[in-house]
Amino acid sequence: MEKFDVLIIGGGITGLASAWWLARGGLSVAVWEAGERPGGKIQSTRQQGYLTERAASMVLNFRPEVSELMHEAGLEAAKTRRRAEAEAQRYLLHGQGLKALPMKLGGMIGSPLWSLRGKLRLLAEPFIFSSGRPGESVSEFITRRLGREVLDKAVEPFVAGTLAADPDQTCAAAALPRLTALEQRYGSLAAGVLVNRVLRRRTACSTEVFSFQNGMGTLVDRLAAGPGVRLCTGHAVTELRAQGEGWRVRANTPQGERSAYARQLILATPAPAAAKLLAELDPELSTMLQQIRYASVALVHLGFSRQAVAHPLNGTGFLAPKAESPVLTGNLWASTLFPERAPPGKVLLTSYLGGARAPFAADWDDARLVEETLQTLRPLLGLKADPDMVRVDRQREALPLYHGAYQRRMQSIAARLKEIPGLHLEASYREGVSVRDRLLRGHVVAKHILASQPWPESAPGRPASCAGAAEMMVG
Ligand X SMILES: Cc1cc2nc3c(=O)[nH]c(=O)nc-3n(C[C@H](O)[C@H](O)[C@H](O)COP(=O)(O)OP(=O)(O)OC[C@H]3O[C@@H](n4cnc5c(N)ncnc54)[C@H](O)[C@@H]3O)c2cc1C
Q: Which residues bind ligand X (CB under 6 A)?
A: 9-15, 32-35, 40-42, 55-59, 235-237, 268-270, 273, 297, 299, 395, 398-399, 427-428, 433-436, 438
Cβ distance to ligand X smaller for residue 232 or 381 = 232
Cα distance between residue 308 and residue 386, in whole Å: 8
Between residues 183 and 426, which has the closer beta carbon with respect to ligand X? 426
Residues 6+ apart with CB under 8 A from 124: none
Q: How far is the CB of 57 from ligand X (least distance, A)?
A: 4
Give the contacts of 465 (CB within 8 A, at least 6 positions apart): 227
Question: Least distance in Å: CB of 191 to ligand X?
Answer: 29
Q: 43 or 143, CB closer to ligand X?
A: 43
**CB of 216 vs ligand X, minimal distance in Å:** 8
Minimum Å distance from CB 437 to ligand X? 8
Nearer residue to ligand X within complex by CB, 57 or 143: 57
- Contact between 323 and 282 (Cβ < 8 Å): no
- Identify the three-state secondary structure at position 31: strand
Q: Which is nearer to ligand X, 226 or 270 (CB)?
A: 270
Whether the Cβ atoms of residue 393 and residue 301 lie closer than 8 Å to each other: yes
The residue type of 67 is S
d(CA 206, CA 62): 6
Q: Cα-atom radius of gyration of the chain, to the nearest Å?
A: 23
CB nearer to ligand X: give 265 or 464. Answer: 265
| Three-state secondary structure readout of 168-228 | CCEEHHHHCHHHHHHHHHHCCHHHHHHHHHHHHCCCCCCCEEEEECCCCHHHHHHHHCCCC
To ligand X, the closest distance from the beta carbon of 427 in angstroms equals: 4
Q: 229-232 and 29-32 as β-strands: parallel, antiparallel, unpaired?
A: parallel
Nearest Cα residue to 159 out of 41, 298, 289, 321? 321
What phi and psi, each to the nearest 5 degrees, are found at residue 266? -115, 125
Min separation Cβ 274 and ligand X, Å: 8
Kindly state the smallest distance separating residue 33's Cβ from ligand X, in Å: 5
* Cα–Cα distance for residue pair 90/320, rounded to 1 Å: 11
Nearest-approach distance from CB 147 to ligand X, in angstroms = 28
Toward ligand X, which CB reaches closer, 273 or 381? Answer: 273
Nearer to ligand X, 33 or 152 (CB): 33
The 3-state DSSP class for residue 392 equals strand
